[in-house]
Structure 1
Amino acid sequence: MQSPSTTLVTMPAGTPAGMPVTTPAAVPAAVPADRAGHGAFELPRLTAMLRHALPRFVEGVIAPVAVFYAAFALLGLNGALVAAVAWVYGGIAWRWLRGHGVSAMLLLAGLGVTARAGLAAFTHSAVLYFLQPTLGTLMVAVSFLASVPLGRPLAQKVATDMVPMPEAFLRHARVRRFFRRISLLWALVFFVNAAVSLWMLFHQSIGVYLWVRTGLVAALGAAAVAVSVWGFRRCLHQVNAVTA
């Protein structure tokens, strides 16, 4: 079985070269060494990106829900809060012991979970534990939406963090238009996420909220990712046709 081919974008001769490209060890190289100074760009294979993202999605989204709900069913609210905090700090300790390094974002997440768990334990309300991240989702939606009129689409920042791209490619009019549209799409996704979460949080049980909301959000996110990848490949094809 042959591996799916990647798409190559080559900018016109004389186009200023982009910034030097660095690629994380876990992600395939986005720019070949012999083309690094000529504005060329190759999209990593989708399977490679999924292999990179899936373990993080399971660890950060699926597993915490499973741990919290299992502990909630067996030990009650306080036991579930302790299990959630233990899961986060256990992940931090596991990375540290294996020498993988602990990111500042993960440490901040640990502090955030600790604060949420402490507040929920003090008030004896599981609603408060889930309210903060839902409000955070709403703020992310506002950030995506506000980035478009400011001319700095947040979707472009997220994409270039995952797959480094030459500046010459990012300055292309079609590419800029694509990232504006995708930023609006993700703003809508996060707004719907927040609205559904808030409604379920105040109108359904915690068990229903955890599983139904998680499934709906995962399905909505998967659809948005599929549209984003399809749109990006279409944009690459159009840019190829112009530069050819």
Structure 2
Amino acid sequence: MDRTPQHGFELPRLTIMLRHALPRFVEGVIAPVAVFYAAFALLGLNGALVAAVSWVYGGIAWRYWRGHGVSAMLVLAALGVTVRAVLAAVTGSPVVYFLQPTLGTLLVSMAFLASVPLQRPLAQKVATDMVPMPEAFLKHARVRQFFLRISLLWSLVFFANALFSLWMLFNESIGVFLWVRTSVVALLGAAAVAVSVAGFRRCLRHVNGEAEPALAAEPRPAAA
């Protein structure tokens, strides 16, 4: 007889998740800002735009050379950066380059918010993309409630991110915008991640605690 708890699930260790996420954060958030700002200070706007585009396509080429898969999302992101760079070069305004992703963040906030009343929490989709979870676990009422609340939390985080970024973009220099905005967004995101992980661990303890008595109450097979 299968004696696995119906709703049991173990979260991978936090250090494992950090080792998985940290290189992607540095590659996708910190490094592009450093590349753009260094080129902007040394070469001006057009040089910074060329450096930003080269960084993205260089990353794709590196993955291809190493034999790693290049996802369609990464290709679309590269095309988006290219379009933004061309528009910024034509208008001569770095604001144009950063406006689109900021507005995109606002749309992401709206998507997280809309998923709550629809009872299709976007946070659950994001979480299961990173850590596969059993279907029975995801259907548990406490788990569903957790992901609805966390979707609302991330909606507020992205909304605050977008508003702060827009204010910085139109009221501060590009240098201040890049570093202050990146630092604030990183801190805000880290706090939201900490709250999400702590809440998920608490949810796990409750769900797994319910599964253990149910398992203990199951009748044992009679001895032959």
> Does the residue aligned with 2:119 lie in a helix, a strand or coil?
coil
Q: Which has the larger radius of gyration?
A: 2
2:172 matches 1:177:
no
Amino acid paired to 1:182: I
Amino acid paired to 1:161: D
- How far apart are residue 10 of structure 1 and its match? 2.5
Alignment correspondent of 1:56? 24
Amino acid paired to 1:126: P
2:124 is aligned, of 156, 165, 175, to 156
- How far apart are residue 42 of structure 1 and its match? 1.9
Counterparts of 1:243 and 1:84 in 2: how far apart (Å)?
A: 50
Alignment correspondent of 2:110? 142
Amino acid paired to 2:127: A
2:5 matches 1:10:
yes
Alignment correspondent of 1:133? 101
Counterparts of 1:141 and 1:182 in 2: how far apart (Å)?
A: 12
Counterparts of 2:140 and 2:112 in 1: how far apart (Å)?
A: 21
Counterparts of 1:164 and 1:241 in 2: how far apart (Å)?
A: 20
CA deviation vs aligned residue, 1:92-120 (integer Å, no higher than 9, x gap): 00111111121111111110000000000
Q: TM-score, normalised by structure 1?
A: 0.84
- How far apart are residue 43 of structure 1 and its match? 1.2
2:40 matches 1:72:
yes
Counterparts of 2:91 and 2:117 in 1: how far apart (Å)?
A: 41
Alignment correspondent of 1:200? 168
Counterparts of 1:229 and 1:94 in 2: how far apart (Å)?
A: 32
Alignment correspondent of 1:105? 73
Alignment correspondent of 1:4? none
Alignment correspondent of 2:13? 45
Amino acid paired to 2:81: V
Amino acid paired to 2:9: F
CA deviation vs aligned residue, 1:177-221 (integer Å, no higher than 9, x gap): 000000000000000000000000000000000000000000000
Greater RCO structure (CA 8 Å; 6+ sep): 2
Counterparts of 1:163 and 1:196 in 2: how far apart (Å)?
A: 31
Amino acid paired to 2:132: P
Q: TM-score, normalised by structure 2?
A: 0.92
Q: How many pairs does the alignment contain?
A: 209
Counterparts of 1:232 and 1:241 in 2: how far apart (Å)?
A: 14
Counterparts of 1:218 and 1:10 in 2: how far apart (Å)?
A: 37
Counterparts of 1:209 and 1:139 in 2: how far apart (Å)?
A: 20
1:90 is aligned, of 46, 53, 58, to 58
Identify, as 1 or 2, the structure richer in helix. 2
- How far apart are residue 40 of structure 1 and its match? 4.1
- How far apart are residue 224 of structure 1 and its match? 0.1
- How far apart are residue 41 of structure 1 and its match? 2.2
> Does the residue aligned with 1:10 lie in a helix, a strand or coil?
coil
Alignment correspondent of 1:241? 209
Gapped regions of structure 2 (runs ≥ 5):
213-224
Counterparts of 1:213 and 1:142 in 2: how far apart (Å)?
A: 20
CA deviation vs aligned residue, 1:47-68 (integer Å, no higher than 9, x gap): 1111111111100000000000
